[in-house]
Structures are given as structure tokens and as C-alpha cells.
Amino acid sequence: MMKYYLAVDIGASSGRHILGHMEDGKIVLEEVYRFVNGNVMKDGHLCWEHDRLFEEIVNGLKACKELGKIPVTMGIDTWGVDYVLLDEKDQVIGDFYAYRDSRTEGMDDVVFGKISEEELYSRTGIQKALINTIYQLTALQEQHPEYLEQARSFLMVPEYFNFLLTGVKKNEYTNATTGQLVNAKTCGWDRELMERLGIPSGIFGELCMPGTKVGNLRPEIREQVGFDLEVMLPATHDTGSAVLAVPANDDDFVFLSSGTWSLMGIERKEADCSEAARKFNFTNEGGYDHRFRFLKNIMGLWMLQSVRRELNQGEHQYGFPELIALAKEADGFPSMVDVNDQTFLAPKSMTQAVKDYCARTGQQVPATTGELLVVIYNSLAKCYADTISEIEELTGRTFTRLHIVGGGCQDGYLNQKTKEYTGKEVYAGPVEGTALGNLMVQMLKDGVFEKLEDARNCVAASFDAKKV
């Protein structure tokens, strides 16, 4: 009898349910359900539709039942940093804010008034980014202190959905590290830091590692979907899962998890919380088996997605192949932007933000859609190249290969640009890296693979990583 495992992978723009099973020594994936995601404006703030997202999770489970392919376990992964607070009756407190909301502006000054930026990095190893949970909670202190007073539980997004499925609350390590509240040396919550910042440490539960069982489905959920299973913790941060799916076991490569965000770095056994790493704005996110992802967060395909969304407000609907064709026609347009500039985080118009940046920096302003896209493509590729150079400087090593995983690896034009700018061997795939890494943890827990190296060898045999 075929044994199925289910990955629920929810990104900033879409979510998907992907079943995985073993067949002839290889991992086989099957997408069974897909749904859209995105921010909505509520009372002047960007928020997530957590009720609708949970409905979609349940709908995907129903789809498995309809197919007659019942998974034995499931795991949910999402983006990082965002969270839910629950009161004593386990009700959500306040709105389900999204990380792109502007309420965190200026919160770095508040935090650094209580702890220096240098000390904060030496403790957590996490790069400064106003989207981080630490700044979100500080904003809550400033704007709605009563919410923190009412709070009894802190759950990050996938943990909240796990709670709705099972009734069990468990905090997971890899996602927790993204918030800048975990100590990089102890790999546990930095409760002393929380006390110094005035964040109630009692709302944070024990950190659990990927591979931990959360629980079985609540009776009412079992009745809705028509079966029961075990809900497991994968690496619930989507990058943590994606990096697991890199089809290599040596250490001679840099990875790029390419999606709405681009996460570029290397895997290490210890965090680098040095002042040099801080100045380069690198982060040390926790990974499977207490590994660290030493990486940089780069704005990523968000810029291209935003331009496409703006273009598609008219009658003509642009697909990415058409946009790539327009970019190729304008290849050679010279202007560049800093893709990590805060102006690109959540602009009213990405098109205008790019044009304004070029004008502000004395460069030629793109006049056509193709020129605009070339600016973004070249700027992303150059940022990737600069990031690799910084990694090599910090580690004193030279890396020969770049492995790109995730949906963004399907953009052949960006892959080619990346190869040109980095001068590295570039390999693209697997596409469903995040879901695959999610499934790998479930399979490791179930004994399909003895160790991570075996799982990665199986990924390499199951999916072609195409050389660019």
C-alpha cells in the first residue's frame, strides 16, 4: 500500500498542498490543491486573512480524501516573522498583521534605546530588518500595550494553524529564529533579552525541533475531512525547508532559495555573530538538526511580481514568459537599483518606485516596461553576485557552485543573468524545494531515510538540477 505524506506550503502570494511518496527509490510529488494568498487592508494596516487561509488548509485535506490518497502525516510551512497572540480563552488578540505593514517604522530606535544594535546581533545573529518579530512586538508595546497584557500564548503563523488543526500549541525552532528573539548560542528563546525589552517571556513555549509530532486532528476537523493523521513540525520556516532540498551533500556551494524573497547563503554548523557579519547584514537562521543558514535576505521576485500585478490591472494579462521577452528586447539598459532599499518593501507602485530611485540617483529612467524589467533583473543578479563575494570574504573561502531552488528557479532569464554576474556554475532545481524539504523531514521521522544526507542523495536522484 502506497504511503503518502503531505506538505502544506504557504507563501506570500499562494499556497499549495503537495503529496509525496516513494516509488522505485525516488520521491514523487503531486500537487493536489492550490490557493491564492495576499495582504488585505484592514483599518489602515496590511493584514493576512488567517480565517480564509485555514479554510484553504482544510479544503486541501478534503481534496486528498476525494483522490483516495490519505497522508499519514502532514506538515505546514510558511513565511517567517509574523505571529498570533492568544488570550486566556485561546482567542486571537487584535489583527493578524502582515510583515509589510508600516507600523514598525521607527521601532529600531526604540529597541536600540534598550539594547545596542551590536549586542543584539551578538546575541541573536539575526540581521536588522524592520519586519522582524522583535520590531513588530515593540510596535505593539507602543501602540496597543493592552494586547501584550492580555496575551497568554505566542504562536507563529504555521504554529497557529497547527493549533487550529490539533488543539496543541508548539513553538518551532527554525521559524522562531527569524524573529530575532532566539539566542544563537543556546538555540533557545533569549528570555533575558525579552525582559530587557519589556516583552512578556511567559507567552513563549519551549522550542521544538523539526520532526516533532504536534498531535492528531481535532474530532471536528476529522469529521470535516473524513480521516485522521499526525500533524508534524517540518522546518516550519519555508527557507528552512527549501534549503533541505538542495541536492548536494558537500560544502562547496552557495544556495539561493528563490521566491517572493531571495534567500542566499551557506549552511553552517555554528552561527557567525561577529561584528564583520553584522556590518555585511548577514543573518544566522536556525535550521534542521541545529544547523545554521548563514544568509542574506534579498527583496527577490517580489519586485517582478509587483510590476506584473500593476500591469495586469488593465485588459491585457501579462504572463512571466511575455515579461521575460520584453526584458530581453531591452537588454543592455544601464540603470541599477539597490533591491534591498526600503522603498521597495511595500510601495504603492513598484514601477514608480524603480523610476524614482533611478531619477534620485542620477541614472537613466526606464521609459518602457522592458527597460524597467531589465533594471530589476540586472539589479537582482548583481546583488546575488555581491552577496556571494561577501560570503567568500567573511569565510575566507571560494565557492564554485550556486544551487537555486524554489519557484524562482524557473526564470531562465534571471538564472542566465545570475550566471553572468556571479561567474559561478549555476544549477536550477528542484522547483518545489520548500514542499520537498517539508516532506523530507516527515520521511526522516518515519524512517524512510536514516539521515539527511540519504534524503538529499534521494533528491538528487529524483529531480534534475539543470545546469544553466
**Grid coordinates representing 221?**
476537523
Q: What is the pLDDT of residue 314?
A: 87
Is residue 40 domain-shared with residue 177, that is, in the same domain? yes
Is residue 192 domain-shared with residue 303, that is, in the same domain? no
- Within-domain flag for 343: yes
Is residue 167 domain-shared with residue 80, that is, in the same domain? yes
- Within-domain flag for 153: yes
- Within-domain flag for 439: no
pTM score, whole prediction: 0.92
Is residue 228 domain-shared with residue 252, that is, in the same domain? no
Q: CA-based Rg of the chain, rounded to a whole angstrom?
A: 21
CA–CA distance, 45 with 83 (Å, rounded to integer):
15
Last residue of a domain, one of 174, 204, 232: 232
Q: If pLDDT is split at 50, 70 and 90, which confidence band does 155 have?
A: very high
Note the pLDDT tens digit of each residue in 3-16: 999 999 999 989 99
Domain that holds residue 90: 4-232
CA–CA distance, 337 with 379 (Å, rounded to integer):
6
Is residue 46 domain-shared with residue 152, that is, in the same domain? yes
Residue 1 has pLDDT above 90, yes or no: no
Is residue 308 domain-shared with residue 213, that is, in the same domain? no
Any long-range contacts for 307-313 (C-beta under 8 Å, 24+ apart)? Answer: 307/350, 307/351, 307/354, 307/369, 307/372, 307/373, 307/376, 310/349, 310/350, 310/351, 311/369
Per DSSP, the three-state class of 76 is strand
Is residue 228 domain-shared with residue 257, that is, in the same domain? no
Domain count, the chain: 2
Is residue 274 domain-shared with residue 303, that is, in the same domain? yes
Query: For residue 422, what are the contacts with CB-CB under 8 A and spacing of at least 6?
Result: 381, 384, 385, 388, 402
The answer to whether 238 is a known catalytic residue is yes
Any long-range contacts for 443-450 (C-beta under 8 Å, 24+ apart)? Answer: 443/5, 443/20, 443/22, 443/27, 444/211, 445/73, 445/211, 445/232, 446/3, 446/5, 446/72, 446/73, 448/22
Is residue 205 domain-shared with residue 253, that is, in the same domain? no
Closest to 310 measured CA to CA, from 259, 348, 260, 354: 348
- Residues shown for the chain: 468
Q: What is the pLDDT of residue 66?
A: 98
Note the pLDDT tens digit of each residue in 441-463: 999 999 999 999 999 999 999 99
Kindly report the number of other CB atoms within 10 A of residue 279's CB atom.
Answer: 12
What is the number of helices (H) and of strands (E) in the chain?
Answer: 18, 19
Looking up residue 382, the CATH number of its domain turns out to be: 3.30.420.40
- How much of the chain, in percent, has pLDDT values that exceed 70? 100
Note the pLDDT tens digit of each residue in 110-148: 999 999 999 999 999 999 999 999 999 999 999 999 999
CA–CA distance, 124 with 449 (Å, rounded to integer):
32
- Within-domain flag for 382: yes
Is residue 205 domain-shared with residue 252, that is, in the same domain? no
CA–CA distance, 214 with 232 (Å, rounded to integer):
5
Note the pLDDT tens digit of each residue in 49-101: 999 999 999 999 999 999 999 999 999 999 999 999 999 999 999 999 999 99
Burial of 402 (0-12, 13-18, 19+ CB in 10 A): buried
Note the pLDDT tens digit of each residue in 342-382: 999 989 999 999 999 999 999 999 999 999 999 999 999 99
- In this structure, the strands spanning 466-467 and 425-428 are antiparallel
Last residue of a domain, one of 174, 203, 232: 232
**Grid coordinates representing 438?**
517539508
Per DSSP, the three-state class of 91 is coil
Q: If pLDDT is split at 50, 70 and 90, which confidence band does 464 have?
A: confident
Q: Which of 82, 238, 272, 411 is catalytic?
A: 238
